[in-house]
Amino acid sequence: MTRTLVQGGLVVTAAEETYADVLVEDGKVAALAAAGSSVARGWTADRVIDATGRYVVPGGVDAHTHFDFPFGGTSSSDTFETGTRAAAWGGTTTVVDFAVQTRGRALREGLDAWHAKAEGKCAVDYAFHMILSDVNEDTLKEMDLLVGEGLTSFKLFMAYPGVFYSDDGQILRAMQRAAGNGGLVMMHAENGIAIDVLVQQALAAGRTAPRYHGEVRRALLEAEATHRAIQLARVAGSPLYVVHVSAEEAVAELAAARDKGLPVFGETCPQYLFLSTDNLAEPGFEGAKYVCSTPLRPREHQAALWRGLRTDDLQVVSTDHCPFCFSGQKELGRGDFSKIPNGLPGVEHRMDLLHQAVVDGHITRRRWIELACAAPARMFGLAPHKGTIAPGADADLVVYDPRATQVLSATTHHMNVDYSAYEGKEITGRVETVLSRGEIVIDERRFTGRTGHGRYVPRTTCQYLS
Ligand code: DUC
Ligand code: ZN
Ligand code: ZN
Ligand code: ZN
């Protein structure tokens, strides 16, 4: 039995903040006691971590990553090995990645392929959502089976015609099925049919630079798709989770639905909170580094996203980590923005960027933990093991130094990608030590984890609904 004691820190969960000693036993949180009282209680440990002057927070839950993801004529550059190691460095101890159904093939085949990519490779725990590329009688039946096995969320695309796109009828059928089996439909809400027309028109007019990616993927077309997805979910009687919300007008659609009491949820990502179309318009081909979908928006949209995060019209911040190297990958789209692989790296920096948001006064410290840990855990059926610090929970803990400063850079990050979307950005706050199920995976800024430590975590259904 290994015992670790994390002493004297300010323990921050979504629910409360208290100075406490945390006793970890056999991978679980065994007990919490008032800071300094563990000696009097006779608690002993193999390892004592002094967290004085630090926060002790739950390990982050990143509910949206794409490791080893074939997309845009190439594959995202982080494997499960490199990606989960970078996650650990950034204080994220659980990732939920997207297994992909290949069109015309069984969901099971896609899921098996993702298990094969991840098994024995991960530094932290992992789970899967499933991307539904086909909606038909067979895949709907498989959906029921997967929910029963702990894969409880399914992503559909209103964008990318010819690739992942589903039409409204297919979406409605999948939502009806989810209403029956308890699954959660996750929606990429952009009107891909209209966007494709604008893409072709832009290219024909010689508008080929990266910034046109942002211009053709209009905010109104995100809002329209968000509205349509909400109405389809209402008709089906199913809950809905909209991924990577970036447009103010889309937040308004979610807020209006929630004001009606509908079970509609939304996620945004750090790139929409901290970056903008100014980045897409950087000189030469630099803007390609910032091509993702939904796209970065003009700065003015950020206020609505922060407001949504404060009012709970948006519940989750995840990264949509989908890295492509500038050299050789993003470069596929030189001379044609529509060929730039869509995606940004970010799994390592979510906890830090959201802590910066605390420092900047956008959110409270507890909301930081709610958005990054507790809410994604409950949304995707990982609570009470993940997302909080409480007796019986997995000992996924981060000792966070709120006063240390760092500068984000590709020269120091651990993601397998040749640029940083946040190059030169100064952050107040830094991950110091990270425990994953009691094992120290980052020890005072040294990686002490192990490839293969991370386990697959089956999930329950969405815990916002019961
Ligand atoms: N958007 C991205 O930017 N990358 C992966 C898939 C997606 O929808
Ligand atoms: Zn998407
Ligand atoms: Zn509201
Ligand atoms: Zn994604």
3-state secondary structure the chain: CCEEEEEEEEEECCCCEEEEEEEEECCEEEEEEECCCCCCCCCCCCEEEECCCCEEEECEEEEEECCCCEECCEECCCCHHHHHHHHHHCCEEEEEEEEECCCCCCHHHHHHHHHHHHCCCCCCEEEEEEECCCCCHHHHHHHHHHHHHCCCEEEEECCCCCCCECCHHHHHHHHHHHHHHCCEEEEECCCHHHHHHHHHHHHHCCCCCCHHHHHHCCHHHHHHHHHHHHHHHHHHCCCEEECCCCCHHHHHHHHHHHHCCCCEEEEECHHHHHCCHHHHCCCCCHHHHHCCCCCCCCHHHHHHHHHHHHHCCCCEECCCECCCCCCCCHHHHCCCHHHCCCCECCCCCHHHHHHHHHHCCCCCHHHHHHHHHHHHHHHCCCCCCCCCCCCCCECCEEEEEEEEEEECCCCCCCCCCCCCCCCCCEEEEEEEEEEECCEEEECCCCECCCCCCCCECCCCCCCCCC
Q: How far is the CA of 313 from the centre of ligand 3 (A)?
A: 6
Q: How far is the CA of 82 from the centre of ligand 3 (A)?
A: 39
Say what the ipTM of the complex is.
Answer: 0.91
- Which atom of ligand 1 lies at the shortest distance from residue 342's CA? 3
pLDDT at 167: 98
pLDDT at 101: 98
Q: What is the pTM of this model?
A: 0.98
Q: Which ligand is nearest to the CA of 69?
A: 1
Q: How far is the CA of 321 from the centre of ligand 4 (A)?
A: 7
Q: Which ligand is nearest to the CA of 308?
A: 3
Q: Which ligand is nearest to the CA of 311?
A: 3
pLDDT at 39: 86
The set of protein residues with a Cβ atom below 6 angstroms from ligand 1 is: 66, 71, 188, 292-293, 320, 322, 342-343
* CATH of region 59-379: 3.20.20.140
**Atom 4, ligand 1: residue with shortest CA distance:** 343
Q: Which ligand is nearest to the CA of 253?
A: 3
Q: How far is the CA of 72 from the centre of ligand 1 (A)?
A: 10
Tens digit of pLDDT for each residue in 191-237? 999 999 999 999 999 999 999 999 999 999 999 999 999 999 999 99
**Atom 7, ligand 1: residue with shortest CA distance:** 293
Tens digit of pLDDT for each residue in 322-354? 999 999 999 999 999 999 999 999 999 999 999
Q: How far is the CA of 360 from the centre of ligand 1 (A)?
A: 28
- Which atom of ligand 1 lies at the shortest distance from residue 157's CA? 8
Q: How far is the CA of 56 from the centre of ligand 4 (A)?
A: 29
* Mean pLDDT across the chain: 98
Q: How far is the CA of 403 from the centre of ligand 4 (A)?
A: 32
What is the best residue among 65, 67, 68, 71 to mutate for testing ligand 1's pocket, by most ligand atoms within 8 Å of CB?
71
Q: Domain segments of the chain: what residues?
A: 59-379
Per-residue pLDDT of the chain (466 residues; tens, 9 = 90+): 789 999 999 999 999 999 999 999 999 999 999 999 998 999 999 999 999 999 999 999 999 999 999 999 999 999 999 999 999 999 999 999 999 999 999 999 999 999 999 999 999 999 999 999 999 999 999 999 999 999 999 999 999 999 999 999 999 999 999 999 999 999 999 999 999 999 999 999 999 999 999 999 999 999 999 999 999 999 999 999 999 999 999 999 999 999 999 999 999 999 999 999 999 999 999 999 999 999 999 999 999 999 999 999 999 999 999 999 999 999 999 999 999 999 999 999 999 999 999 999 999 999 999 999 999 999 999 999 999 999 999 999 999 999 999 999 999 999 999 999 999 999 999 999 999 999 999 999 999 999 999 999 999 999 999 7
